[in-house]
Amino acid sequence: MQKCEQLYEGKAKKVFLTDDPDILIVSYKDDATAFNGLKKGTIVGKGAINNRMTNLLFQKIEAEGVPTHFIQELNDRETAVRRVEIVPLEVIVRNVAAGSFSKRLGVEEGTVLAEPTIEFSYKNDELGDPLINSHFAKALQLATASEIKTIKDYAFKINEILKVEYLKAGLRLIDFKIEFGRFHGKIILADEISPDTCRLWDVESGEKMDKDRFRRDLGGVEDAYIQVAKRLGLEMESK
């Protein structure tokens, strides 16, 4: 497998073609953004942490029967993945009220929900990733009814897997965002699972251990990311 020209650069990653049309190489960056790109910065070492953490969790998820785009970790920042057609839906699963959910619905942050919830956002930066429902998704032909059912089933299963893995690391999974893609017509998990895409609170102290430290100017962002990685069993260098 040979790395070829760059295909795409997003807010958190660069994507490269390879000599295999079914395989891409994803390279994770240290760039950090929040509030649909209005806030920008750098989290030193984030790229390596998010790459390695995503790969670890994707392999655990795949072992439980949910297909993913993961193929092979190439180095600290780069991974070979299956080339998918991304379904333009951001899928948010929530276990505890926080962030925009609390603001929109007037629910105190930290309130445990009676059952996990799922939300869809239309993946469109220019529109600010607006919330939509499954009927919108079908009407706009973003996904079929069958694909939406598969995505929902996979999302709730991933939630149960991640809750267990994070709890073993002394972390509560508050909520998370995932994305899916089509690979030869099959829905598979894509993108990443990291402190960028998950809200994680320390079980004992309730301390935020995720991107909210960057969003809310809480400080200690790099240290929080490193601690999450270490708790999951990854060997990481401290600053």
User: CATH number of the domain that 204 lies in?
Assistant: 3.30.470.20
- Measured CA to CA, the distance from residue 172 to residue 178 in angstroms comes to 17
**DSSP three-state, residue 44:** coil
Q: Would you say 175 and 96 are in contact if contact means Cβ atoms under 8 Å apart?
A: yes
From 64, 82, 100, give the residue that closes a domain.
82
Scanning the structure block, which residue is given the tokens 């209005």?
A: 38
Q: Which residue numbers in the chain have pLDDT < 50?
A: 238-239
- For 175, the enclosing helix (H) or strand (E) is strand 171-183
| Judgement on whether residues 71 and 108 belong to the same structural domain of the protein | no
**DSSP three-state, residue 4:** strand
Confirm whether 231 is domain-assigned: no
DSSP for 54-115, written as a single string: HHHHHHHHHHTT--BSEEEE-SSSEEEEE--EE-SEEEEEEEE--HHHHHHHTPPTTPEEEE
| Judgement on whether residues 122 and 68 belong to the same structural domain of the protein | no
What's the domain count of the chain? 2
From 82, 102, 117, give the residue that closes a domain.
82
- The CATH number of whichever domain residue 42 belongs to comes to 3.30.200.20
Burial 139-166, CB ≥16 within 10 A → b, else e: eeebbeeebbebbeebbeebbebbbebb
Confirm whether 238 is domain-assigned: no
Confirm whether 229 is domain-assigned: no
Say what the pLDDT of residue 37 is.
Answer: 62
Give pLDDT tens digits for 143-156. Answer: 999 999 999 999 99
From 48, 82, 116, give the residue that closes a domain.
82
- For 139, the enclosing helix (H) or strand (E) is helix 134-139
Q: Would you say 34 and 12 are in contact if contact means Cβ atoms under 8 Å apart?
A: no
| Judgement on whether residues 30 and 51 belong to the same structural domain of the protein | yes
- Measured CA to CA, the distance from residue 189 to residue 54 in angstroms comes to 11
Which tokens go with 218? Answer: 């809480």
Say what the pLDDT of residue 239 is.
Answer: 44
Say what the pLDDT of residue 16 is.
Answer: 98
pTM as predicted: 0.94
Which amino acid is present at 26?
A: V
Structural domain of 60: 3-82
Which amino acid is present at 208?
A: K
